[in-house]
Copies of this chain bind each other. A is one copy, B any other.
Amino acid sequence: MNLEFTAEEQAFRDEVRAFIAENYPKHLADFGMREDMEREDFLAWHKILGKKGWSVPAWPTEYGGTGWTPTQRYIWSEENARASTVMPLPFGVSMVGPVIYTFGNAEQKAKHLPGIVSGDVWWCQGYSEPGAGSDLASLKTTAVRDGDHYIINGQKTWTTLAQHADWGFFLCRTDPTAKQQEGISFILVDMKTPGVEVKPIKLLDGGYEVNETWLTDVRVPVENLVGQENKGWTYAKFLLAHERSGIAGVARSKRGIEKLREIAANESLDGAPLIKDFDFAKKVSQLEIDLAALEITELRTLAGEQAGKGPGPESSILKIKGTEIQQRLTELTLEAVGTYGAPYMGGVSNDNGSNEFPVGPDYATHAAATYFNMRKTSIYGGSNEIQRNIITKMILGL
């Protein structure tokens, strides 16, 4: 047992660091909120990594994975967080990709995986439905077989960044007589198919990162069914466990704490830097301690995975603690900026004046919006309550 990097690992870290320094697009350095970003901004780094062969490290090497050890993947995350890179979105890389290479057929793999690896194809996720939330199994969207097509009808919600998506993966009910979690299928849909309509949802931070997606008589070829008909729930659960394992966001939160320290060094309290205020510094320390614990917990989980165990219910801990830390971090950042947390920087116009350029210091600009936005993290991806139910059942055995 030890925490030291081997000489090989140190060399790898240097290689990664140099690669990022040389290749990461300068105009995306230390980028702020996602909602400011264009489609190409999201994909720029992904495409560079695709060419390098580093866009899907966790995948099997035959599909483009790097074959890195957990330690190498840890180093990779750390270095990207250190440089605040805009990482590839998870919908292709961490969600549908693993489902396709695990459960898809040869044609599906050949057709869909390369676009995910290269970053040319943007995927979105059609799981949630209005009125269903974390209760995925109650979904109502139907796919009815019609010759060599499915006709899909229904409404999905919380489809993140679907406004940019080329393809979507949808859970649809293919057997209306089956119970709750049975009779569901996992179907890939070209978002340009007639009948697919994406409407943005305005969130409480003022941004538009999620959508409602209507599917009206959408005709999808049967070859877009992944795995077996009516077995979609199995793939959905597999995907959710995969999704959770990346959700801890340790390296990003580390970088967030660094930024928080920089902000608190600039803000003042009683004539001294805020970071010198014991009360405030203590909250930062507590956050660092909880994050240090989570980092080791994640590394232990990765080590377990390497030892042959797949991502198990332990990943629910990563989801719960990871999102709690992200939320506390953004809350503390809002607290740090003080009075200048109040100005709203969204697009609402105002005859009398501004909201056109920042009020107060730059770092205060998005503090409130980010805090508001991050409330979602304990709700999505299976709410933290659902995660506790999973641990209750799978680990405590109750």
Contacts and interface: CB of A to CB of B under 8 A. Distances in A.
Interface string A269-290: 0000000001100100000000
Contacts of A278: 278-279
Interface in A279-306: 279, 282
Interface size class of A (residues with CB under 8 A): under 10
Contacts of A279: 278, 282
Nearest to A278: B278
A278 B278 CA distance: 9
Q: How many copies does the complex hold?
A: 2
A284 to B, nearest CB: 15
A59 B282 CA distance: 51
A282 B278 CA distance: 12
A98 to B, nearest CB: 40
Contacts of A282: 279
A278 B280 CA distance: 13
A279 to B, nearest CB: 8
A234 to B, nearest CB: 35
A279 B279 CA distance: 8
A279 B278 CA distance: 9
A171 B282 CA distance: 52
Interface string A318-343: 00000000000000000000000000
A278 B281 CA distance: 13
Interface in A231-282: 278-279, 282
A178 B279 CA distance: 59
A294 B142 CA distance: 54
Nearest to A282: B279
A115 B127 CA distance: 70
3 contacts: A278-B278, A278-B279, A279-B282
